[in-house]
Amino acid sequence: MGYPKGNLVSRAIVKPGIYSVIPPEGRVLNVLPHFEGFATTILASPKYGASFVFYVSGVTPGARTLRTWCREEGIESFVYFMDEETPGKGELTVRVGDEEKTLSQGGYAYAPAGVGMDLSNKSPAGMRVLLYKQRYVPVEGFEPRTVWGNVNEIEERIYDNMENVFVQDLLPMDPGFDMNFHILSFEPAGSHPFIETHVQEHGAYVLSGQGVYMLEEDYVQVQKEDFIWFGPFVKQAVYATGRERLSYIYSKDFNRDVEL
């Protein structure tokens, strides 16, 4: 990397328990046991208040997990094939339980708690993936199931009656699932319909565009490659700025009552 060019500066904001914005410029790589050929950064962790762990990782040709990831009791997991070095050349092989599939760009997989997943890149192209894990909250009478999909095959629907904002739902809505992933997309000048204040927390990775995000009392400029986390009841809303669509993929806890 070498010497800095000018003063050391950062757009990163970390307010433990409230919110964080982590741009790519200041990230460092974290060594994960049993991950061979992965260049991974941990973006969200309980260490600053998140209830989950969110990662971004480069996956080189030949990379693989040496043991099943998230096979521990009570831990559910998710992987999303975000992008690739050579369009159309990358393939991520994912095994969940006894089922194995090859994902192309936009593909994703969800593994129920305690099942875990094995990952490998048997293709000649490098790629980047998003990884996610959290502790599953069971509810009597319902169970989650393995889910496979690709966002390129999911039809967008208009979000909250606004014709310039769109959403895609990646996981089922039934009560067996205590979390979901969505992609929310705003055409230029699009915004949330109101300032949200809710019990859910979100972890969001910006896939394209730029915007101004209201987080509690702060207005923060965000752009492609930024990661955003905010905790429960943090006031939040975004305005899309710039000339292209602002899109981000985000996690959400749902379908559960609050435990006392």
CATH of the domain at 98: 2.60.120.10
Pick from 131, 136, 88, 84: which is nearest to 108 by CA?
131
Report CA-CA distances (Å) from 92 to 123, 180, 208: 8, 21, 22
Q: Is 12 part of a structural domain of the chain?
A: no
Q: 126 and 38 share a domain?
A: yes
Q: 32 and 148 share a domain?
A: yes
Q: 169 and 94 share a domain?
A: no
Q: Is 55 part of a structural domain of the chain?
A: yes
Count the neighbouring beta carbons within 10 Å of the beta carbon of residue 108: 25
Count the neighbouring beta carbons within 10 Å of the beta carbon of residue 242: 14
The span from the CA of 228 to the CA of 248, in Å, is 10
Tokens linked to 217? 């009392």
Which residue, of 137, 152, 167, is where some domain finishes?
Answer: 152
Q: 197 and 214 share a domain?
A: yes
Which residue, of 152, 187, 211, is where some domain finishes?
Answer: 152
- Cα atoms in the 13 Å half-sphere on the side-chain side of 67: 6
Which residue, of 152, 172, 195, is where some domain finishes?
Answer: 152
**pTM: predicted TM-score of the whole model, two decimal places:** 0.97
227 lies in which domain range? Answer: 155-253
Q: Is 2 part of a structural domain of the chain?
A: no
Report CA-CA distances (Å) from 61 to 26, 100, 116: 25, 18, 22
Q: 148 and 159 share a domain?
A: no
Q: 160 and 148 share a domain?
A: no
At 5 the pLDDT is 87
Pick from 199, 237, 235, 240: which is nearest to 223 by CA?
240
Q: 140 and 181 share a domain?
A: no
Q: 100 and 183 share a domain?
A: no
Q: Is 21 part of a structural domain of the chain?
A: no
At 4 the pLDDT is 87
Q: 202 and 236 share a domain?
A: yes
Q: Is 65 part of a structural domain of the chain?
A: yes
Count of domains observed in the chain: 2
Q: 237 and 165 share a domain?
A: yes
Q: Is 31 part of a structural domain of the chain?
A: yes
The span from the CA of 21 to the CA of 215, in Å, is 10
The list of the chain residues with pLDDT below 50 reads none
Q: 140 and 90 share a domain?
A: yes
Q: Where are the alpha helices (DSSP H) in the chain?
A: none
Q: Is 4 part of a structural domain of the chain?
A: no
Q: Is 18 part of a structural domain of the chain?
A: no
